[in-house]
Amino acid sequence: MTRRRMRNSSPGYLAPPVPRIYRPHRRLSAVGSSIIFHASIPTAEAPGKLKNRDDKKLVSTDKEKTLFHPVKGVYEQLSKDCVAQGCSVDLFLFPSQYLDIATMGDVPAHTGGAVYKWRPTGEHFLRDLRMDVEKPIGFDAIMRVRTSTGFRATDFFGGVYMNNTTDVELAAVDCDHAISVELKHDDTLSEETGAFMQCALLYTTVGGQRRLRVHNLSLNCSSQLMELFKSCETDSLINFFAKTEFGVIPVHRDTELFAYGGCGPVVSASHLTPDPLDRGNS
């Protein structure tokens, strides 16, 4: 059984209303999602109270990255509780002043939800709200990636929570979210047999059915680097680089330089690698 709830949180509060949403789910053995509308920073004397951290003096300094660190504690635990219950959180923000989105958006980021920042009126807001309510979605999902000998999954990027190194837990998964998987090549791969991957996703449908979706992938292996570049999918690479860059924002102040550090060697290698079929230029 799944449920979708909308709640307009009280001014000054954000964290306390969320348990009131997923606790009924627990009593009914249900999963679902929550849509919360909020317009101000939580300043009330309650769990989840936040302070204004918008210190202009830190901008363009080495400490600027601290502004993007979420405040640990209440919201971190709230994310874990929502994932355990299979309850995702979508947050619609309508700010007229500073909001600590780094902290407030931590719950949607780890529960498969999304953060929207709009004015409370207008067709764009209504369009996003309609799409958020009507989009295909699954809840309480667990994903595992298996590989053949020679390489393995080492890291995952996206709206996921990991309690161990193998199982990817998602409070919700929908058509607008993508999960990037980093694969580490640590052994010799055979060009004759190739490499194999399997992605298994166990989730609950809106109708309450528990389903398993399995994707099997067979990959060719080549000792020629140019063959690899010819087979690369640009959209997947851009998605991967974007997610990894987003993940290092709280660590690296100059994210543009970090992006160049990741993309630069790829571009350089593609230009320096000769094409074995291009006899005239080799």
* Strand 137-147 versus strand 195-204 pairing type: antiparallel
Domain 2-135 of CATH type 3.40.1030.10:
no
Reported pTM: 0.73
In the chain, what are the domain boundaries? 2-135, 222-282
Q: Which residues pair with 173 in a beta bridge?
A: 138
Check residue 1 and give its pLDDT.
44
Share of the chain above pLDDT 70, in %: 75
**Residue 282: pLDDT over 50:** no
**Residue 119: pLDDT over 80:** no
- How would you classify residue 48: left for phi > 0, otherwise alpha for psi between -120 and 50, otherwise beta? left
- Return the top range by mean pLDDT from 105-109, 111-115, 132-136, 210-214: 210-214
Name the pLDDT band for 216 (thresholds 50, 70, 90): very high
Q: What is the pLDDT of residues 57-103, one digit of tens each?
A: 877 777 777 777 788 888 888 888 888 888 888 888 888 788 888 88
Give the other-Cβ count within 10 Å of 67's Cβ. 15
Tokens of 26: 């627990």
Q: What is the pLDDT of residues 120-146, one digit of tens each?
A: 566 788 888 888 888 889 988 999 999
Report phi then psi at 33, rounded to 5: -135, 160
Q: What is the pLDDT of residues 155-204, one digit of tens each?
A: 888 777 888 888 888 888 888 888 888 888 888 888 888 899 999 999 99
CA–CA gap between residue 160 and residue 113 (Å, rounded) = 10
Q: What is the DSSP string of the chain?
A: -EEEEEEEPPTT-STTHHHHHHHHHHHTT-EEEEEEEE-S---SSSTT-------GGGTTSGGGGGGGSPPPSHHHHHHHHHHHHTEEEEEEE--SS---HHHHTHHHHHHT--EEE--SSSHHHHHHHHHHHHS-EEEEEEEEEEE-TTEEEEEEESS-B-SSSSPEEEEEEETT---EEEEEE-SPPPTTT-EEEEEEEEEE-TTS-EEEEEEEEEE---S-HHHHHHH--HHHHHHHHHHHHHHTTTT-S-HHHHHHHHHHHHHHHHHHSPPTT-TTT-
Check residue 19 and give its pLDDT.
63
- How would you classify residue 29: left for phi > 0, otherwise alpha for psi between -120 and 50, otherwise beta? left
Check residue 207 and give its pLDDT.
85
